[in-house]
Amino acid sequence: MINYRWHLTEQLAKQQEECSLRTLLHQQWLLPNRLIHYLRTRRQVLVNGHYISMNEPVSAGDQVEMFFVGDEVRTPAANDYVPTNKPDLAVLYENRDLLVVNKPRGQKTHPNYRGETGTLMNDVAGYLAGTSDGAYMVHRIDLQTSGAVIVAKNPIVVPVLNRLISTGAIHRQYLAVVEGKLVDDGRWAWPIGKDPANFHLHKVAGINAQPAVTYYHSCAANEDRSLVALKLATGRTHQLRVHLAHSGHPIVGDPLYNPSSNEGMLLHGQAQRLVIPFTMKTLNIKAPLPPYFLNYLVKYKLA
């Protein structure tokens, strides 16, 4: 008897239009060709309890089951994160396949070497300890940035989530407190590349610059500080930090792009637009502002 590592069951919604099983898996559910190949050749996909070919139709109310041994995916086991004992993890949303958690400022998203502890992924591994789920990184945010982060609980949904992020279907909205008075709304489309003076930094029109687009909206402003809502249309390294610094309004406390500001960085991923794999339903998940952020808004009359 085959020992399946993952068994995912989905019932198609009442509004599901009839289509081929292949169309459902590839175009609607966004499964990569590699997974579909194994589901087909190993007959590891059942519709209403029976294997059918990829060209046969599925329709509203059908039950689709997918079975995975582990070798079908490129990361069959979760990375070997040392689980945090009794982690203090702020879970914003959880279902069978994923978590959305609120990462605090100053915590790494993931370890940089085997055995490292104290990162967000260590905390998720500790939270999931004792279950059949693992911690699979989907995306990351900077060390000094707080806010919503998606973590997969199985590797099947990782490529699906990556596809939804790359197309912009899944995205975060950020809040930042910046230097000076920024009162308008708009779009920055400055390309970002490596800073030739320091390869740890990035800059507008730097080496090997790539297109980068940021949308911004001024929520509140005075002569000293502004509260700005930000949305990424692209995902370049340090994009928000570089664009804001180039605009003349660097983020308060940014240790790299505003080093004269010795306060903690005030950049927070405050809202996650999440698309749930398989159902493809959209949720808007809020990540509460940390107390220090709220206190700063009150101090500078931006709340």
pLDDT tens sequence across 30-68:
999 999 999 999 999 999 999 999 999 999 999 999 999
Residue with tokens 């300890």: 129
In whole angstroms, give the CA distance from residue 107 to residue 140: 11
Strand partners, 19: 58
86 phi and psi angles, rounded to 5 deg = 50, 60
Q: Let me know if 142 is a catalytic residue.
A: yes
pLDDT tens sequence across 220-272:
999 999 999 999 999 899 999 999 999 999 999 999 999 999 889 999 999 99
Element (H, E) at 291: helix 291-299
State the CB neighbour count (10 A cutoff) for residue 93.
16
Instruction: Give pTM, 2 decimals.
Output: 0.93
185-188 and 282-286 beta bridge pairing: unpaired
Active-site entry in 97, 123, 133, 142: 142
Element (H, E) at 229: strand 225-232
Dump strand ranges (E) for 61-210: 63-68, 91-94, 98-103, 136-137, 146-152, 171-179, 185-188, 192-195, 198-204, 207-210
